[in-house]
Structure 1
């Protein structure tokens, strides 16, 4: 039986604030070989790990990442009070540079780094590419740059050699949207599980397929049988245990 690679989606986000150092480290400590994070730029162009279009859900303050300079963002707290109340009241936002430092300490871990379309639209693909590649340069061989943005990936294809990224990947909400990335030679394609066809094999050029967000072991194994290589999950240790149990394997 083929088993999927598991990707810690925004870190160990089921138990820790998403896209933060504490959650990513927890995922790695739990055995994650792959992590996925989202990147936006501060007002002064510094890459920060953040998913949402605004700061409210994570930090409890109005505004957006691009409206705050980096120093001010680092004074905010990524507490996710709606889920965790005050458990992570002192937990700071995480910069992309801090992720690079973590990866340097864990050379066996690969990071999928998603350049958010909000940043591309505001700063332009070249500025976003340069900011991310400059920050990740010391660990570029451990990083796969991914995005929904076709212009960014088109620019990244030409930029890839000098940037030293391990690979590039496209992200889509719906399976039928994959063809916009045709011909780019991407190593990965990510798709929302809710955007997949209900049955049949899944393949896109020579790309490896990753599906998000999945927390059910049976569903994960069914997706592997259809051609999926990797599963993104907020609860990597729990999903891994479920897969091992269904597959009848001894847990490592």
Structure 2
């Protein structure tokens, strides 16, 4: 029997070499052959989706405050160089709106995007405003996008909405939706939603045995070791999420 080789997702773009959630990082991941990219989404103070992971601007931008405290026009002027990792190499890098990434995806019809809606946005604006804003922004490429989140209320509401039916259609009752958990045991909170995907932290997985959750396709983050990736694929994991997609792909067979 042939060895199972997982498919790779570029976690926050090519984040090993570029600032995370940046347009250059997304472009580089796609140039390197990524068929799947993942990005983190929050809302600006005026309700516009932007790419950002953390609750505060400090680590990425070196500034006080949070994404939801500033209007889009201000956010688009902020440098996002991740100086602790890259020094001044990316001093000119700026935050990016979800609309800018959608324009990039429109130029690359072979790429599917996983958009993780951050809980901080849901806590600040509420489920409905966040879903409305993100679904509208992604609509031009909806058939190649999957909404994922840690937020159970957001996933529950999204699973009831008809406009999510336009999203990715490659398996699962609501395959345009995916849950994200830190620990494998937490998947129980997502039971019965008919999710197409389940993402789990590699450190939260059981040490052995097959992995499966309802009809969901499984993705594991953050993995950079080829042996770990292959072992997970043998246990039932389809996707591996990695900051270094090109490097990991070189170490995998085939």
Q: With structure 1 as the length reference, what TM-score do the two structures score?
A: 0.96
Q: d(CA) in 2 for partners of 1:151 and 1:73? A: 27
Question: Structure 1: where are the runs of 5+ without partners?
Answer: none
**Which of 203, 206, 226 in structure 1 is aligned with 2:212?**
203
Q: d(CA) in 1 for partners of 2:132 and 2:225? A: 38
Q: d(CA) in 1 for partners of 2:14 and 2:24? A: 9
Structure 2 matches for 1:91-110, cutoff 5 A?
91-110=93-112
Structure 2 matches for 1:16-55, cutoff 5 A?
16-55=18-57
Q: d(CA) in 1 for partners of 2:11 and 2:223? A: 10
1:214 aligns with 2:223: yes
Deviation at 1:162, TM superposition (A): 5.4
**Partner deviation per Cα, 1:205-242 (whole Å, 9 max, x = no partner):** 00000000000000000000011000000000000001
**Which of 72, 88, 91 in structure 2 is aligned with 1:89?**
91
Would you identify which runs of 4 or more consecutive aligned residues in structure 1 move more than 4 Å? none
**Which of 111, 114, 120 in structure 2 is aligned with 1:112?**
114
Q: In structure 2, do the counterparts of structure 1 residues 223 and 160 end up closer, same or farther at CA, with 3 Å as the change threshold?
A: farther
1:63 aligns with 2:72: no
1:177 aligns with 2:179: no
Q: Are the equivalent residues in 2 in contact too, given 1:12–1:235 (CA < 8 A)? A: yes
Q: Tell me, what secondary structure is at the counterpart of 1:187?
A: strand
Q: In structure 2, do the counterparts of structure 1 residues 204 and 70 end up closer, same or farther at CA, with 3 Å as the change threshold?
A: same
Q: Are the equivalent residues in 2 in contact too, given 1:133–1:163 (CA < 8 A)? A: no
Deviation at 1:81, TM superposition (A): 0.8
Q: Over the residues paired in the alignment, what is the CA RMSD in angstroms? A: 0.9
Q: d(CA) in 2 for partners of 1:73 and 1:161? A: 29
Q: d(CA) in 1 for partners of 2:32 and 2:79? A: 24
Q: d(CA) in 2 for partners of 1:111 and 1:81? A: 27
Q: With structure 2 as the length reference, what TM-score do the two structures score?
A: 0.95
Q: Tell me, what secondary structure is at the counterpart of 1:209?
A: strand
Q: Are the equivalent residues in 1 in contact too, given 2:45–2:67 (CA < 8 A)? A: yes
Q: Are the equivalent residues in 1 in contact too, given 2:158–2:164 (CA < 8 A)? A: no
Q: How many residues matched?
A: 245
**Which of 130, 140, 143 in structure 2 is aligned with 1:141?**
143
